[in-house]
Structure 1
Amino acid sequence: MAKGKYHDWLTPEGLLKLEGWARDGLIDEQIALNMGVKRQTLYDWKNKFPDISDALKKGKEVVDRAVENALLKRALGYQYDEVTKEAVKQQDDETGEWVTVIAETKRVTKEVQGDTTAQIFWLKNRRPDKWRDKQEVQHSGSVDVNNPYADLTTDELRKLIDSG
């Protein structure tokens, strides 16, 4: 495939490459480099050719979902099995010869506790109305202040100060 020619990237093979690069986590600048074009050229082609834009979106969506799932798993905590394998000698049932095989010798279920940082990140982004740091509060009505000196003139205020 010739680099830099937009029509080559509109073929099924070209679109599949673009989708694959996006799925691999490459950013647009890296994809443009792989294509042999400048980043701005890729942006122009994305605007001009929906197939290119769609292929990149499709590939990025897969990675975004995987990251979302990993973040959620980390936020909630999870269990996994830690498996230890070792080389062991055992007798072959058919030939009777002793052979070395790799066998599971130990399996331990471990638990990863939920990560509060991941939980906070998830909640701030998914529920900003309840979890963002800055809460917006609207107040309606008025605030009345009872100021007994509000109607006094400056001279009257000075007299009060001097007499006190």
Structure 2
Amino acid sequence: MAKGQYKKWLKPENLVLLEGWKRNGLTDQQIADNIGINRRTLDKWKVKYGHIGRALKVGHEAANYAVESKLLKKAMSGNTTAMIFWLKNNWRDKYNDSELSPEERKLAIARMRKLDADTRISEAKANAVEKLSSASDKKLDTILDKLIEEAQDDGAKESTN
């Protein structure tokens, strides 16, 4: 990459081009290829040179708004597919195909509680390991193993209730 190549892309006409590419649905990889740079370089430019980052963001948002507007118009004109799509994505609590039975809901809740407990235990173990010396690792493992067993016992009790 030639030094200073980014300067060309800070010119207003090139910022409009970047925005247009993003609005037309090009990925950052495709845009980097069009410019003749590596994708990581484009990522750095987006952070370092705000005009480039904003052009790509505005282009993406403009495309989203344009598609949203057309979808809404189709839905309002009676296009059933557009109506279903709109409602499922904008009124999820009411129009959701994945209704769970009460039993499935309880099972999902129990699994989430177990996952949360396991996560808290893992985080506590990681924090404790960082704070304690290597000599006390065996003691810590014993304590944490007991906590894990208790959490599993509690999870088993909750899922049977």
For Structure 1 versus Structure 2, the TM-score category normalised by the shorter chain is 0.5 to 0.7
Residue 51 of structure 1, CA deviation? 1.4
Hey, what does 1:6 align to over in structure 2? 6
Closer/same/farther in 2, CA of residues 31 and 55 from structure 1, 3 Å limit: same
Code of the aligned partner of 1:128? R
- Pick from 72, 76, 80: which aligns with 1:116? 80
Hey, what does 2:23 align to over in structure 1? 23
Rg larger in structure: 1
Residue 68 of structure 1, CA deviation? 0.9
Residue 56 of structure 1, CA deviation? 1.0
Code of the aligned partner of 1:51? H
The whole-number CA distance in structure 1 between the counterparts of 2:96 and 2:3 is: 46
The whole-number CA distance in structure 2 between the counterparts of 1:4 and 1:127 is: 48
The whole-number CA distance in structure 2 between the counterparts of 1:23 and 1:69 is: 14
Hey, what does 2:98 align to over in structure 1? 134
Percent identity between matched residues is 53
Closer/same/farther in 2, CA of residues 70 and 4 from structure 1, 3 Å limit: farther
**2:8 counterpart SS class:** helix
Residue 44 of structure 1, CA deviation? 2.3
Closer/same/farther in 2, CA of residues 3 and 119 from structure 1, 3 Å limit: farther
The gaps in structure 2 that reach 5 residues or longer are 107-161
Residue 47 of structure 1, CA deviation? 2.4
**Per residue, is there more helix in 1 or in 2?**
2
- After TM superposition, the structure 1 = structure 2 runs for residues 1-164 of structure 1, keeping only pairs within 5 Å, are 5-77=5-77, 114-135=78-99
Residue 135 of structure 1, CA deviation? 4.5
**Per residue, is there more strand in 1 or in 2?**
1
The whole-number CA distance in structure 1 between the counterparts of 2:43 and 2:96 is: 33
The whole-number CA distance in structure 2 between the counterparts of 1:4 and 1:76 is: 49
RMSD: 2.7
